């Protein structure tokens, strides 16, 4: 089935996924199209943060659903707020 992934820059990409694919696999598919580390990536659907070990079917993601990508912020330890 086809799902859409909304990126931070406002653009969308389409992916062909199976209901049995894990969220980890979906992140790897996104990485193939937009270089990034899947471990830094968060996927959201219907207001929920998606767990890597669960499947597309487990979240009732259907054909033409839209997922949203967010990225984990890493502390830089150079800013006063990050160093503590």
Extents of the domains making up the chain: 2-83
Architecture of domain 2-83: Roll (3.10)
pLDDT by position in tens, the chain (length 84): 999 999 988 999 999 999 999 999 999 999 998 888 778 899 999 999 999 999 999 999 999 999 999 986 655 555 555 554
Alpha carbon distance 51, 14 (integer Å): 20
pLDDT at residue number 61: 98
Q: What is the DSSP string of 8-40?
A: TTS-EEEEE--TT-BHHHHHHHHHHHS---GGG
pLDDT of residue 83: 52
pLDDT at 77 (0 to 100): 55
- Looking at residue 42, its pLDDT comes to 94
pLDDT of the residue at 63: 98
Rounded-to-integer distance, Cα 28 and Cα 34, Å: 10
């Amino acid at each position: 089935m086809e799902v859409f992934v909304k990126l931070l820059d406002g653009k969308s990409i389409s992916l062909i996924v199976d209901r049995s694919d894990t969220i980890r696999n979906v992140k790897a598919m996104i990485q193939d199209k937009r270089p990034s580390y899947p471990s830094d990536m968060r996927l959201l659907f219907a207001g929920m943060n998606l767990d890597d070990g669960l499947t597309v079917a487990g979240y009732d993601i259907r054909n033409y659903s839209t997922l949203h990508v967010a990225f984990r912020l890493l502390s830089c330890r150079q800013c006063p707020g990050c160093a503590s």
